[in-house]
Amino acid sequence: MNDPEEMRAMVLVSAGKRLQRVAMPVPVPGPTQILIEVHACGVCRTDLHVVDGELPHPKLPLIPGHEVVGKVHRLGEKAVGFKLGDRVGVPWLGSTDRSCRYCLEGRENLCDGAVFTGYTTDGGYAAYCLADCRYCYALPGAFGDLEAAPLLCAGLVGYRSYRMAGRNAERLGFYGFGAAAHLLAQVAVHEGRKVYAFTRRGDSDAQRFALSLGAVWAGPSDEMPPEKLDAAILFAPVGELVPAALRAVVKGGTVVCGGIHMSDIPSFPYQILWEERSVRSVANLTRQDGREFLEIAAKVPVRAEITVFTLEQANEALEGVRTGRLNGAAVLEIHA
């Protein structure tokens, strides 16, 4: 393989600014790292929260992107599990300290010393990217590079939210029908659940899209569904949706907040939480979540609806995610 010294990257220099196109040195892998030639990188709503400065203390300057698909180009001296040329996926959970109480309890998603791809370490909006091989995934052959990218966060973290909704949730609501919901709706339908899709009022495109994926009902998020839900997952980062979803679930029902950031939740009467309804958040992912989701995604098989941009169009892709005008997921197609 040829060994270029420079690579293209889209870089966040300070919060609230547009990403800048730069040429920079190709990084060198540390002992347990691999250097990946990036082929595709998904654009997640979390990237928008990082770029907008809604998440504290990002690495700066930063290469965003935590849904990275590519080929192993170089191996660190202690890197195991992959060989040169293997296809590999890099998720949000870049690495953990493997020693804090959460790691020792099998809850590495809550690790005190976690490193997050495209947030506290550089990610995949670039021609090359480093990753700790112990946190990377081999990807099922059922998916092309572009289709596999959104599975790595929208899919994985979405799947953790989906599991938290409870195995018995037969009627399942999705508030916000974007990248994560469109993937998990397919898993839910495959598992025989009824999906109710809530979108922005007037967004008939998203409602049609949800029905085409097997949702039994689609409507605006300020409307009550025709039947009460067993559980609801909030993927839209809108605090007002928490009381709306609580009103829509049955006694004992669960409302799962699947995003990393949300606007403030307005106060609401205790009455709508009472009768053992619960509200919970989901943070990050464990490697086990990833393995389970990729296995089930290949079985369904989950089809990601994607809108493709070039690396240099990263700012436009982020704007597309912001306005919610894309059906499905935005993905950058990248060539070294």
Of the candidates 97, 170, 295, 312, which one interacts with Zn ion according to CB under 5 A? 97
CB of 49 to Zn ion, least distance (A): 9
CB of 132 to Zn ion, least distance (A): 13
Of the candidates 50, 72, 111, 148, which one interacts with Zn ion according to CB under 5 A? 111
Per CB under 5 A, the segment of 37-45, 80-88, 143-151, 222-230 that binds Zn ion is 37-45
Q: Which is nearer to Zn ion, 70 or 178 (CB)?
A: 178
Q: Which is nearer to Zn ion, 74 or 160 (CB)?
A: 160
Q: Does 210 bind Zn ion (CB under 5 A)?
A: no
Please report how many Cα atoms fall inside a 13 Å half-sphere around the Cα of residue 241, on the Cβ side: 25
Q: Does 100 bind Zn ion (CB under 5 A)?
A: yes
Q: Which is nearer to Zn ion, 67 or 230 (CB)?
A: 67
Q: Does 95 bind Zn ion (CB under 5 A)?
A: no
3 state DSSP class of 95: strand
Question: At which residue do the structure tokens 């079985």 appear?
Answer: 299
Whether 307 and 320 have beta carbons less than 8 Å apart is answered as yes
CB of 323 to Zn ion, least distance (A): 18
> Other CB atoms closer than 10 Å to residue 22's CB: what's the count?
15
Q: Which is nearer to Zn ion, 7 or 152 (CB)?
A: 152
Whether 53 and 107 have beta carbons less than 8 Å apart is answered as no
CB of 272 to Zn ion, least distance (A): 29
CB of 112 to Zn ion, least distance (A): 5
Whether 5 and 25 have beta carbons less than 8 Å apart is answered as yes
Q: Does 46 bind Zn ion (CB under 5 A)?
A: yes
Q: Which is nearer to Zn ion, 75 or 131 (CB)?
A: 131
Q: Which is nearer to Zn ion, 100 or 216 (CB)?
A: 100
Identity of the amino acid at 151:
L
**Subset of residues 144 to 183 that bind Zn ion, contact rule: CB under 5 A:** 153
Of the candidates 7, 41, 44, 306, which one interacts with Zn ion according to CB under 5 A? 44
3-state secondary structure 224-283: CCCCCEEEEEECCCCCCHHHHHHHHEEEEEEEEECCCCCCCCCCCCHHHCCCCCEEEECC
Size of the residue set binding Zn ion (CB under 5 A): 8
Q: Which residues, 6+ apart, have CB-to-CB distance to 90 below 8 Å?
A: 36, 66, 67, 68, 69, 70, 117, 123, 124, 129, 131, 135, 136, 137, 152
CB of 146 to Zn ion, least distance (A): 16
Q: Which is nearer to Zn ion, 123 or 173 (CB)?
A: 123
Of the candidates 35, 68, 103, 185, which one interacts with Zn ion according to CB under 5 A? 103
CB of 264 to Zn ion, least distance (A): 22
CB of 183 to Zn ion, least distance (A): 12
Question: At which residue do the structure tokens 């240099």 appear?
Answer: 312
- Cis? peptide before 266, omega within 30° of 0: no
Whether 131 and 88 have beta carbons less than 8 Å apart is answered as yes
Whether 97 and 111 have beta carbons less than 8 Å apart is answered as yes
Q: Which is nearer to Zn ion, 244 or 260 (CB)?
A: 260
List residues binding Zn ion (CB under 5 A). Answer: 44, 46, 96-97, 100, 103, 111, 153
